[in-house]
Amino acid sequence: MLNIEEIRKDFPILSRTVYNRPLVYLDNAATTQKPRAVVEAMTDEYYSVNANVHRGVHYLSQQATELHEQARANVQEFINARSEAEIIFTRGTTESLNLVAFSFGEAFLKEGDEVLVSVMEHHSNIVPWQMLRERKGIVLKVIPMTDEGEIDLETYKNLFSPRTRLVCIAHVSNVLGTVNPVKEMTAIAHTHGAKVLVDGAQSVPHRRVDVQDIDCDFLTFSGHKIYGPTGIGVLYGREELLEKMPPYQGGGEMIARVSFEKTTYERLPFKFEAGTPDFVGSHALAVALDYVRGIGQDIIAAHEADLTRYAMEQMSLIPGMKIYGTAREKDAVISFNVGDIHPLDLGTLLDRLGIAIRTGHHCAQPLMARCGVESMARASFALYNTRAEVDALVAGIDRVRKMF
Ligand code: PLP
């Protein structure tokens, strides 16, 4: 079991107040809070190691490079990639997805080729494909879902054609919390010769993710959603695909040799990492992953599953409550509306009680349209949340409901 009170001490922000109330932070799907170890890793590195990586012969540069490359090995192990060459550091999930859309698109997609995306994708996993459609004339097909918020697998199977090249699917929906059957979906896609990109922004922080077990071709995630800093993220790509893909950006770090006549590119993964990387961020991300390992991914997942079950039960008792996403497998995200209270009003009034939730379209407007609403309220949990905080949320919602 988790010793939550001890864990909460690792996160200084959790002991602050908002409007003279204890902070109840339930916006973890947007970003998580940072443990002391992560923040200290960043200040320590700036105070005592800071030097640009890869290029320096001097001591500090070598030390910074070592930390940066150890972080890569750490990420490789965390998601069980085959090699460090398969781990590309980016600014986050969004940049990772744009990298694939641009570079895989350049290498492998022609006019009329098809890319499947699900109706529950975050805009980050929709817009880059639409931009590619503008550039190359690819065809985007939408994988539908059931009213419970599960992927409609039968329709999915029938969407494939000889022109289907890629399937883009969120492992866990940032709105519905649905855990999509990415392993099964990948196996189906591969029988059709299509590649699979899994957006792991909402799964990697909450459950064990093993890219070899899923057998996906790409996986993306963001450091800031797994207790790490902002500005650092990861793209995992299967090595033989990455080898065939052109660089996404040009500049320093990604070159082998430059002349005005011709430039050759660095080996993987550096070919995709133009410019000075966020080497402080990568190290701090590794510290965050160590923090998660230290507590235990299965223990965290069990705790969050308990919170989600409890919150679903308690919230369902509130009159007028409509919860979006009741999939059989659901992670720590609960989106909802209450009667005809506008989510913005609900969020604003809860904020006055010290309770931070998210309101709006959650960067998933096509999903909002599928659910027949413009916006929703969303509570999302992390390892430091408690049943008492769920009680505070439920009491807060009930109080707002009675005001209306
Ligand atoms: N994909 C999903 C499922 C997300 O939840 C998010 C962020 O909320 C993103 C992509 C984009 O992540 P980032 O803003 O860190 O690039």
DSSP letters of 194-259?
-EEEEE-TTTTTTS---HHHHT-SEEEEEGGGGTS-TT-EEEEE-HHHHHHSPPSS-SSSSEEEE-
Chain centroid to Cα 110, Å, comes to 28
**Separation of alpha carbons 36 and 191, rounded Å:** 46
Query: Would you state the pLDDT for residue 55?
Result: 82
* Residue 186 Cβ < 6 Å to ligand 1: no
Ligand 1 centre and the CA of 139: distance in Å? 23
Q: What is the DSSP code (8-state) at residue 110?
A: -
Q: Is the CB of 76 under 6 A from ligand 1?
A: no
Active site residue 371: no
The pLDDT assigned to 79 comes to 98
The values of phi and psi at residue 172, to 5°, are -130, 130
> In sequence order, what are the residues at sequence separation of 6 or more whose Cβ sits closer than 8 angstroms to the Cβ of residue 39?
284
Does the C-beta of 94 come closer than 6 Å to ligand 1?
yes
With a 6 Å cutoff on the Cβ, whether 201 touches ligand 1 is yes
Determine the distance separating the centroid of ligand 1 and the alpha carbon of 381, expressed in angstroms. 16
Out of 168, 216, 363, 371, the active site residue is 363
How far apart are the CA of 20 and the centre of ligand 1, in A? 31
pLDDT, one tens digit for every residue, the chain (404 residues): 789 999 999 999 999 999 999 999 999 999 999 999 999 999 999 999 999 999 889 999 999 999 999 999 999 999 999 999 999 999 999 999 999 999 999 999 999 999 999 999 999 999 999 999 999 999 999 999 999 999 999 999 999 999 999 999 999 999 999 999 999 999 999 999 999 999 999 999 999 999 999 999 999 999 999 999 999 999 999 999 999 999 999 999 999 999 999 999 999 999 999 999 999 999 999 999 999 999 999 999 999 999 999 999 999 999 999 999 999 999 999 999 999 999 999 999 999 999 999 999 999 999 999 999 999 999 999 999 999 999 999 999 999 999 99
**Identity of residue 371:** C
79 CA to centre of own chain: 13
Rg of the chain over all Cα atoms, to the nearest angstrom: 22
Q: Is residue 357 lining ligand 1, measured as CB closer than 6 Å? A: no
Residue 88 contacts residue 99 (beta carbons within 8 Å) = yes
Residue 93 Cβ contacting ligand 1 at under 6 Å: yes
| Secondary structure (DSSP) of 338-395 | ETT--HHHHHHHHHHTTEE-EEE-TT-HHHHHHHT-S-EEEEE--TT--HHHHHHHHH
DSSP string, 137-188: --EEEEE-B-TTS-B-HHHHHHH--TTEEEEEEESB-TTT-BB--HHHHHHH
Pairing of strands 17-18, 321-324: unpaired
Tokens of 14: 């959790």
Nearest atom of ligand 1 to the alpha carbon of 94 = 16
Q: Identify the residue whose C-alpha is closest to ligand 1 atom 14.
A: 94
Write out the two tokens for 83.
């090699």
Which SS3 state, helix, strand or coil, does residue 335 take?
strand
Largest CA distance in the chain: 72
Token output for 151: 């992927």
Q: What is the pLDDT of residues 60-94, one digit of tens each?
A: 999 999 999 999 999 999 999 999 999 999 999 99
Specify the pLDDT at position 88. 98
255 DSSP β-pair partners? 265
Calculated CA dihedral for residues 179, 146, 149, 399, nearest 10 degrees: -160
Q: What is the model's pLDDT at position 86?
A: 98
What pLDDT does residue 277 have? Answer: 97
* Residue 170 Cβ contacting ligand 1 at under 6 Å: yes
CA of 91 to the centre of ligand 1 (A): 11
d(C-alpha 207, C-alpha 296), whole Å: 10
> Which residues, 6+ apart, have CB-to-CB distance to 312 below 8 Å?
323, 330, 334
| Interhelix angle 387-403/343-352, nearest 10 degrees | 120
If one residue of 174, 198, 204, 235 were mutated to test the ligand 1 pocket, choosing by the most ligand atoms within 8 A of its CB, it would be: 174
pTM above 0.95, yes or no: yes
Could you identify the atom of ligand 1 that is nearest to the CA of residue 124?
10
Cα 124 to ligand 1 centroid, rounded to whole Å = 7
CA atoms of 100 and 2, how far apart (whole Å): 38
Q: Using one digit for the tens of pLDDT, what is the confidence trace for 296-353?
A: 999 999 999 999 999 999 999 999 999 999 999 999 999 999 999 999 999 999 999 9
Cα dihedral across residues 121, 127, 130, 132: positive or negative = negative
Q: Name the nearest CA neighbour of 333 among 225, 184, 223.
A: 225
| Ligand 1 in reach of 92 Cβ (< 6 A) | yes
Q: Give the ligand 1 atom nearest the CA of 93.
A: 16
Listed in sequence order, the DSSP H helices in 49-167 are 59-79, 93-108, 127-136, 153-159
Answer yes or no: are the C-beta atoms of 31 and 362 closer than 8 Å.
no
> Could you give the CA distance from residue 393 to residue 24 in angstroms, rounded to a whole number?
8
